[in-house]
Structure formats: C-alpha cells, structure tokens
Structure 1
Amino acid sequence: MNFPSPIAFYIFSYPVRWYGIAYAIGSLLAWRWGIFLIKRRVFSLCPEILSDFLMIIMPSIIIGGRLGYVLLYSPSYFFTHPLEIFSVWKGGMAFHGAALACAFSSWWFCKRQKISWLSLTDCFLCGAPLGIFLGRIANFLNQELYGIPWKHGIVFPNVDSIARHPSQLYEAFFEGVFLFIVLNGLALKTRISRHSGMLSGCFLIGYFASRWICEYVREPDSKCFEFLGSIRISPGQFYSLPMLIFGIYLLVSKKNLKKF
C-alpha cells in the first residue's frame, strides 16, 4: 500500500501536516454538530456560547495533547531536549493530555460564563468522536500508532517490512464512528440529555471500552505496566482508567451533580 506524505502542503515553506488538518476540521465538525443539536432543542444552550467555546477548546487540544505526550510517554527525552517540546510539527500528541486540558479549560470557561459545565460537555462530546475519527485516520496516513504483527495486516513502509494490524483504523471505527452513533442515538432518540452529565459519562465509558479493546492489537507506545506479577496493561489502557471511573461516577451519582 502506498501512503501519502505526512505533509499535506506548504504555506510559505511551512509544512502543514495531515494531523494538524485533522485537529482543525475535527474541532469545527464537533462545533457544527453541537450547533445542530442545540437547534434541534436537544440542549438548552445558546449557539454563540458554543462558538466562543471553540476558541478555547482548539488551543487546549494542541497544548494539552503535546504536554500529555511529553509527560506521559517521553519525559526523560524531553528533559534533556527541552526545546523539542515546542516542535509540535515533528509529531507526538497524547489523547489523554488533550482530554485533561479540555476538561479544565471547559470548566474555567463555564465558570466565567455562568453556565452548566456538564451541559456544555454533553453537547460538545456528542460531536467529539468526529474529531477522534479524523485524528485516527491521520495516524494511519502518518504510519504511527500502528498495530502488532499480523500476517493478514498492512505493511507500514516507514516502520518495517512486517505486516501489522491497522489498529488506527480499528480505533477510528470504535472511538469515532461507533461512539458517535451511540451518543447521538441516545441524544436524539431518548431524554437522556435532560440529565446533565449522563452523555458525558457515556462518552467516557465508551471511549475507555473502545481504547481498552483496541490496545490489545496496538504496538505499545512505551513499556507496559505490570500488576501482581502477571497482569500487564499498556500505557493507553492505564491512562484511560480515570475516564472509566469518572464516567461511572457521572452515571450512578446523579444526586452529586448539582455542585457542577
């Protein structure tokens, strides 16, 4: 299989990569989908609020994703090469870092706007899988985050000559397409959106389950964690555990949601 260059095009000699395009288009699609849901009266939010929120969330994704990769996956390297932290165009982003940054920035935004944090996250997360889908497709085109060897798989020339699972495509489907269908089926066909935090909880649990399953055929980004001598989980699985815990909390502890 022939893969395109990681660089989509140049603007005055500056490379524009597929990954950056995926982030930008994904954020815009999530925003537009949120506007659609608001107009369908699924959420009682003002469309202008979501537009203002977009200006906060886009830099949060980039900064959080980069710092997450630096701190979670390659701290020793960046400790000795600190200036490389700013070389975002060379690759190296982490979903969990981006998610954490978005959580804090959205909480701060809602405090300033005096609106419900969970209502906003419910709305925006219904469209978030669109961005995740495009991000995983960009991973595939960049030949990164590839899977473990499999004789019926795909050869990634920039990696080696071994056929591997196209784990990026698995994640694009489960974390993107499947999660989008589930969340919006619930949002449009049920009254779950009336209970702030429920859709956010479904997103967190759904992402955790999708990531946990796909990690079994994905080449680990770094050394796996070991528990009790025999239980091994990948970094991606380990860093997804807080999402599961908070997602369950949102679903089962409705009486505690008023403080949000």
Structure 2
Amino acid sequence: MQFPSIDPVFLRIGPLQFRWYGLMYILGFIATYFILRGESARKRLSLSRDDIADLVFYGAMGVVLGGRLGYILFYNLGFYLTHPLRVFAVWEGGMSFHGGFLGVILAFVLFSRRRKVPFWTLIDMAALCAPVGLGLGRLGNFINGELYGRPTDVPWGMVFPNGGSQPRHPSQLYEAFLEGLVLFLIVRFAGRRSARTGVAAWSFVAGYGLFRFIIEFFREPDAQLGIFWGYLSMGQLLSLPMFLLGTFMVFRISRSNP
C-alpha cells in the first residue's frame, strides 16, 4: 500500500506556510481549554476562564520546552552538542513525549503554587487532556510521513516516502488509536469511577507506558540510537518505568482509606 500523497503544508500565503503538524498542536490546545473548563466546573473549582487560559499556556510551554529538551537529552545529545544552534530549529522536528510530560508537571507545579490550586487535582484534569493532544500529534506525524514503523508484510503495510521500498507498519496510526482514543476512554472511566485524587493521573501514566511499550515493537527505532541489548528501544526504556509506577500507584490509591 502506497502512502497517501498528503502535502504537509495545508495553506500558503506568500512566504508563509501553515503545516498540518502545527495545526494539530493548536487543535490540541483548543481541546485542552474546553476539557479543562468542563472538568473545573465538574470539580467545582474557583477557576475563571482567564485562569483556564493561563493553565493552558503553562501546559503549552511545558510541552514545547520540555519536549524539545527531552528529545535533545534522551535521543540526540551528541548531535546538538556539536551543532548547538540547531537546538532552536524546532521546525525540523525533534520532540519527546517523556520530556514534554516532565515539562508539564513542572509547569503545573508552578501554576499550583501561584494560584493555590491542589496540584493533583490539576494533574488529574491534565490527564484527560493529554490523550487528545497525543492522538492529534500522531496524526500529524502520519501526515508528515515520519516516525513510521518497522518493515512488515501485513496487508495494511505502507511504503513511506523516506522509509525505503519496503512496506512498513503505520505505527503513527496505532499510537493515535491507543495513546489517543483508547487512553482517553480509560482515563475518563478511571476519573469518573473513583473520587480519589490521583487515580486519573496515574491511570494515564500506566496506560501510556503500556501502550507505548507495546507499539515500540512495531515502530522503527531512532537511527542514531538503534536497539539496546538487541531488544529494547529508548522509548521502551523510558515507558516501562511509567507503566510499573503508574500501576503500583493506582492500586495503592485505590486501596487507601478515603
């Protein structure tokens, strides 16, 4: 199956180019705003619309700065040490979920302290937003023809423009489905079923860790890193602790006295 010919630029106005990947980020932040508004009302928090907008801004900065720094540290440190100015070339790609995850946590710690809102309440709310952004981001990866999967002979294997002549797993779509739609439903179910603070957040951590670990078996490893010990990718090394810790914390919170 040939990769569909999709122009990564959906709009050109003179020298300006608007890309699908950037649009996915914008849609993710817009969806986050409305989800946070709904969750704030449901939890009866005293957050105004301006407060919610500020919270989205904090989260966006955490995602972008943390994601970029995480990619540099976890995936390509040697390259950026020799080409330091390329650190700012974000249009070339290079974002890490795990770095963005840590960036959002730090951003929400700052927001929590400044606005006197319980940190874990904010993180539970963010956990419902994250799968939406992840799903949209993976669709952007698919449109760009990047982060494709390993060679395969399954009927839906695709020949990607930069992936050689072999059909490959459309692993971006696997991730959009599992880390996006399925994980959203899991976190929503966990947050609605349990009134205990932290269950939704840790359910997200465990679910993402599990899904990312599984999908990495189908995703092409980063060329500059390859496979560790002949079996595990960097994504799996970073995701396995998330699954183990998240699962442990969900059980611990669920068994604790209310």
- Give the TM-score normalised by structure 1: 0.88
Cα distance in 2, alignment partners of residues 50 and 198 from structure 1: 22
Letter in 2 for 1:159: G
**2:68 is equivalent to residue 66 of structure 1:** yes
Q: Once the 2 structures are TM-superposed, how far is the Cα of residue 11 of structure 1 from its aligned partner?
A: 5.3
Against the structure 1 CA distance between its residues 110 and 242, is the aligned structure 2 distance closer, same or farther, given a 3 Å change threshold? farther
Q: Which amino acid aligns with 2:239?
A: S
User: What are the within-5 Å matches in structure 2 for residues 182-201 of structure 1?
Assistant: 182-188=186-192, 190=193, 192=194, 194-201=195-202
Quickly say closer, same or farther: Cα 1:195–1:11, change in 2 above 3 A: farther
Give the structure 1 partner of residue 25 of structure 2: 23
Matched residue of 1:16: which SS?
Answer: strand
CA contact (8 A) 1:17 1:89 kept: no
Q: Indicate which of 164, 180, 183 corresponds to 2:184.
A: 180
Determine helix, strand or coil for the equivalent of 2:238. helix
Q: What is the aligned counterpart of 1:117 among 113, 119, 122?
A: 119
For the residue of structure 2 that corresponds to 1:220, the secondary structure is coil
Distance between the aligned counterparts of 1:113 and 1:136, measured in 2? 32
After superposition, the CA RMSD in angstroms is 2.0
| Matching residue of 1:235 | 234
Q: Which residue is equivalent to 1:224?
A: 227
Superposed displacement of residue 245, structure 1 = 4.2
Match of 1:164 in 2: 168
Structure 1: distance between partners of 2:118 and 2:69: 27
Q: CA deviation at 1:249?
A: 4.8
**What does 1:37-76 correspond to in 2, within 5 Å?**
37-39=39-41, 41=42, 43-48=43-48, 49-76=51-78
CA contact (8 A) 2:61 2:107 kept: no
Q: Which amino acid aligns with 2:177?
A: F
Which 10-residue stretch deviates more, 11-20 or 121-130?
11-20
Relative to structure 1, the CA distance from residue 67 to residue 156 in structure 2 (aligned partners, 3 Å threshold; closer, same or farther) is: same
Task: Report what 1:85 is aligned to.
Answer: 87
Q: Distance in 2 between matches of 1:109 and 1:134?
A: 25
- Please list the CA deviations of residues 62-113 of structure 1 after superposition, one character each: whole Å capped at 9, or x if unmatched: 1111111111111111111111110101111111111111111111211111
- Distance in structure 1 (CA, Å) of the matches to 2:73 and 2:37: 34
The CA deviation at 1:18 is 2.0
Counterpart among 123, 134, 137 of residue 135 in structure 1: 137
Instruction: Describe the shift of the 1:111–1:33 C-alpha distance in structure 2 as closer, same or farther (beyond 3 A).
Output: same
- Measured in 2, the distance between the counterparts of 1:98 and 1:14 equals 27
Superposed CA deviations along residues 2-56 of structure 1, whole A, max 9, x for unmatched, are: 33222233455243322221112112212211212333x2x23234233221111
Contact 2:175 2:215 in 1 (8 A): yes
Could you tell me which amino acid in structure 2 is paired with residue 102 of structure 1? V
> Aligned partner of 1:201: which letter?
W
In the aligned structure 1, how far is the partner of 2:15 from the partner of 2:184?
37
> What are the ranges of 5 or more consecutive residues in structure 1 without an aligned counterpart?
none
Distance 1:114 1:146, change over 3 A: same
Percent of residue pairs identical: 37
Over residues 184-217 of structure 1, what are the superposed CA-to-partner deviations in whole Å (9 max), with x where a residue is unaligned?
Answer: 12334x2x1x211111000000001110111111
